[in-house]
Amino acid sequence: MAKTYEEINDKISKGKAVVLTAEEVSELAKTLSPKEIAQKVDVVTTATFGAMCSSGAFLNFGHPTPGIRMEKIELNGVRVCGGLAAVDTYVGATDCNPERPAYGGAHIIEELVAGKEIVLEAWGKGTDDYPRRHIKTLITKDSINEAYLYNPRNAYQNYNVAVNSTNEIKHTYMGTLLPQLRNAAYSTAGELSPLINDPECRTIGLGTRIFLCGTEGYVAWNGTQFHSTREVNEHGIPVTNARTLAVVGDLKQMSTDFLRAAYYEKYGVSLFVGLGIPIPVLDEDLAHRVSIRNEQIETTISDYGDGYKILGRTNYAALRSGEIEIQGRKVRTAPVSSLAKAREIADILKSWITNGKFTLSAPVRPMPTNTSVKPLTVRGFEDETGI
């Protein structure tokens, strides 16, 4: 018998919902059938805590007197978007001043969340209604109007394992890759990862209420580079980077426990984002999906030293064992996203739901199907790569 969102929410508000984390349900699935799980369990919480470069925050500073049409804006010396009306901006996580590459948008966002003061400096040409040409002042998250995180591409459904076959260290967004396959870096939270537990996005769509960096947030749209037609394995899991989510939430309510700036050596700034998604166990099919185990989740090994050449396939049970085999060689593995934090998030979300504080929202529009990702081709101009 299928359950409805209403029935589950009713149970939640009465404090009677049975909520498990995705790891707990995978454990339970060793002894119970999907049918039994569908009867017993109402909600499964999933989570991830990793660096997600495609993140950022919209801010509205409020109007000073006399007014200014901010056309060039800097926050703590970092140039941010000046293309949004008079006193709005978007701070991209990877925004930075090239002269100080280790500090950027993500750090500003973390400091805002922490309640710290940020230096705002802006310039305008001066207009009839906004005569001011310059302003320099201090702001905090409480002194400004809106501050919300809007991340165009988070929560990647699966991700490549990164290795490096060259003779030199490679500094990448997957961390330090040692020469000659001396390490393999993986970033997905395996059986706890949100889009792995609902691989076809049956319950995750526009408007899905989620945990975002310590507070509630929402799925705003399909993420950019949303790829719904990747090859899947026998368990229905895409074997490489596939779907993504655009998410939104109130920055003022967030916590630096679940949002952190990152700097990758010789690469750039990024933002660690903590994300948790509840999955309603509406029927047997979903019960089966959320029961997925690490050994059933496969991913692709990619050589970041050699044009992302594919070197094989592995699974998350092997990756977590600390060693995998690549082309007959034993290679040490390590994560580059935090499973400890992801577990914390899944537990918090579980307690919110169990305590009746957090109900589930059905998608107002499902995620797109039949999408793939286009490359960018150079046309109309000579390809001057500057490499």
Closest residue by Cα to residue 124 from 198, 73, 159: 73
Q: How far is the CB of 176 from other proteins (least distance, A)?
A: 4
Interacting residues with other proteins (CB under 8 A): 49-51, 102, 167-169, 171, 175-180, 182-183, 185, 260-265, 270, 272, 320, 322, 332, 334-341, 343
Helix boundaries (H) for 141-209: 194-197
Q: Concatenated DSSP letters for 284-335?
A: HHHHHHHT--GGG-EEEEEETTTTTEEEEEEEHHHHHTTEEEETTEEEEEEE
Q: How far is the CB of 178 from other proteins (least distance, A)?
A: 6
* Calpha distance 108→143 (Å, rounded): 15
Q: How far is the CB of 291 from other proteins (least distance, A)?
A: 20
Q: How far is the CB of 161 from other proteins (least distance, A)?
A: 11
Q: How far is the CB of 51 from other proteins (least distance, A)?
A: 7
Residue showing tokens 């590459």? 101
226 versus 316: smaller Cβ distance to other proteins: 316
* Calpha distance 45→198 (Å, rounded): 11
* Calpha distance 364→346 (Å, rounded): 24
174 versus 201: smaller Cβ distance to other proteins: 174
219 versus 331: smaller Cβ distance to other proteins: 331
Neighbours of 358 (CB within 10 A): 24
179 versus 363: smaller Cβ distance to other proteins: 179
183 versus 215: smaller Cβ distance to other proteins: 183
Q: What is the 3-state secondary structure (H, E, C) of 218-246?
A: EEEEECCCCCCCCCECCCCCECCCCCCEE
53 versus 353: smaller Cβ distance to other proteins: 53
Q: How far is the CB of 185 from other proteins (least distance, A)?
A: 5
Structure tokens at 380: 């109309």
